[in-house]
Amino acid sequence: MCGILGVVSYSPANQLLYDGLQVLQHRGQDAAGIATMDGDTIHLHKGNGLVRDVFRTRNMRALQGNTGIAHVRYPTAGSAVDHNEAQPFYVNSPFGIVLGHNGNLTNAEELKKQLFVQDLRHVNTNSDSEVLLNVLAHELQSKSKGLRLDADSIFAAVSGVHQRCRGAYAVVAIIAGYGLLAFRDIYGIRPLVIGVNETPEGNEYLIASESVALDTLGFKFLRDVAPGEAVFVDFQGRLYTRQCSDNAQLSPCIFEYVYFSRPDSVIDGISVHESRLYMGEYLADKLARIWPDVKIDVVIPIPDSSRPSALQLANRLNILFREGFVKNRYIGRTFIMPGQAMRKKSVRQKLNAIGLEFKGKNVLLVDDSIVRGTTSREIVQMARDAGALKVYFASAAPPVRYPNVYGIDMPSRAELIATGRTDEEICREIGADALIYQDLEDLKSSVRKANPAIAEFEASCFDGIYITGDITPAYLDKVERGRSAGKANKSADDDQMELELAMSASSM
C-alpha cells in the first residue's frame, strides 16, 4: 500500500506536496519521495524513512517548480531496505518521465522480459513500479506524433498500458515539457481522487490517493478518477480526461474501508467512517443472534481503526463503551519487527491497558481484522493481566484466509492465522473465551450501504477470488517463495549489520 500525490499549481509545489505526504503517511512509512518540474529540469529527492526524516530544509529548497508528484512507500514488491526502490522513479527517454505508483502488477516478471527483449528497455530494480514506468514510456514513444505529444496520443498511450499491465495501479506521472498525467487500473482497485482550487491566475489541480489530502490542502473535491480513466493537466492548467479502456468496471478494494484509508476520507462515494459505523451495526446484529446469553459488561476498541465499529456495536446493543488501551504513537509498526519475541515486545510497548476498565469485567474487544493473530493474542493476554474475568473478541472483518496480490503486503497463507483453521481453533490460538467474525456479505453491505451503485468489491483476502482472473495457485506459490527468500535475505542483512556494529565497537 502506498500514497501518491500530483499537483499543477501557480505557486511552489514543494511545501504543498510535503504537507500532503504528511496527511497520507498512514499509507506508507518505509520511504518517501518528491519530484518537481522547474522549466526543463526535474528535481527529485527520495529516501527511506518517514516524511519528516527524509526531507530537510536544503532538500525542500532544491525542489523548485509549480508542478510535482510525491509518494510514500509501503513495500509489497521488491525490497523494503533498498533505497533505490523508493519512489518516484525517473526515466529520461522519451521526453523525461517521473512516476509514482500505488498498487501491484501481477504480470511484472513477464513485462520485465518483454521490455528487455522487445522494447529494448532495462529495468534496474526489482520494483514493479519501475516496470510500469518503462511500459508507459514505451507506449508514449510509440503513440507520439512525430516525436511530439498531445492529449490524444497521451491517452492512447494509457490505453496501451491498460492492454499490457494486469493488477492494481493508481499512477501519477510528470511528462517533461507537457504536464501531469494520472490514471487508474480498469477495476479501480486502488483509490484516486482529483480536486481543484480556483485562484485568480486560474485553476490548480491536485490528484491524491485519498480525499483527506484535498481537504487539508484547501482543494475542493471534484470527483474520483474512474476505473480505466486517465487525467492529464498541462503546464498551463488545462484539464483533459478520457476513458481509456472498453472493459472498465469499478471493483474497489474492500480492505481500504476496513483498515487502510483514513476515516475522514471519502472513496468512490463512500465515507470510510460511515462504512465502519455500519460494520459495527451488522456485527452487533450477528452477535445478538449468535451470543444471546453471553453477558458483556463493556466494549473496548483496539485503537485506532476499529473505534467507529466498536462504538456503533456498543450503542446498538446498549452496552457500555469505554477506551481501555492507550496507544504509543511514537513506535514503529509491529509487523516489521524481526522475530516473534521482538514483535511481542513491540506490541506491549505500543499498547498499554487501563486496568480500571478491565478489572472484574467481562470484556468484548473489537478489532478491524485479524491477520497473523500475533497482536490479537498479545492483546487478549494484556486484558487478562489487567484483571478481566472473560475476554471475548470480535472482528469487524471476516477471516483473512488468502494473500492479497494487489498492493497490500498480506502474509503468505502459512502466516495467516485463519488459513486451515475453524473459528473455534482461531479462538483458542488467540486465547479468547469466544470469537466472532463479520460475515463477508455483511461487510460488503456495510460498505455498499453508503454507495449502492457499487456492485462488486475486490475482496480476495477474504474469499480467494482474484478479480483480474490471472492469479493461479502456481502464481501464489511463486509469490510466497519470493517472500520467504526476502525474509531470509533480510535476516542475513540484519546479521551483517550486527556484525559490522560489533566490529566498529571493538575498534573504538
Annotated binding site for Mg(2+): 305, 367-368
**Number of helical (H) and strand (E) elements in the chain, helices listed first:** 16, 22
Q: What CA dihedral angle connects 328, 331, 334 and 340, to 10 degrees?
A: -100
Alpha carbon distances (Å) from 29 to 48, 50, 331, 374 = 8, 5, 12, 21
Which among 2, 165, 253, 427 is annotated as catalytic? 2
The three-class DSSP label of residue 439 is coil
Q: How far apart are CA 316 and CA 321, in angstroms?
A: 11
Q: Grid cell 499537483 — which residue?
A: 7
Q: What is the DSSP letter of 225?
A: P
Sheet holding 89-91, edge to edge: 89-91, 97-105, 167-175, 179-184, 229-234, 239-243
The strand pairing partners of 494, in sequence order, are none
CA proximity to 244, closest of 147, 139, 149, 141? 139
CB 313 within 8 A of CB 299: yes
Residues at the binding site are 305, 367-368
Residue 330, class by beta-carbon neighbours within 10 Å (0-12 exposed, 13-18 middle, 19+ buried)? exposed
The three-class DSSP label of residue 251 is coil
Long-range contacts formed by 42-49: CB under 8 A, 24+ apart: 42/90, 42/96, 42/98, 42/174, 42/176, 44/88, 44/90, 44/98, 46/71, 46/83, 46/86, 46/87, 46/88, 47/83, 47/86, 48/81, 48/83, 48/86
CB 154 within 8 A of CB 230: yes
CB 127 within 8 A of CB 144: no
Residue 253 catalytic? Answer: no
Joined grid coordinates for residue 188: 479501480
CB 135 within 8 A of CB 161: yes
Of all residues in the chain, what percent are helix, strand and coil, respectively (each to 5)?
40, 25, 35
Q: Would you please indicate which residues are annotated as catalytic (active-site) residues? A: 2
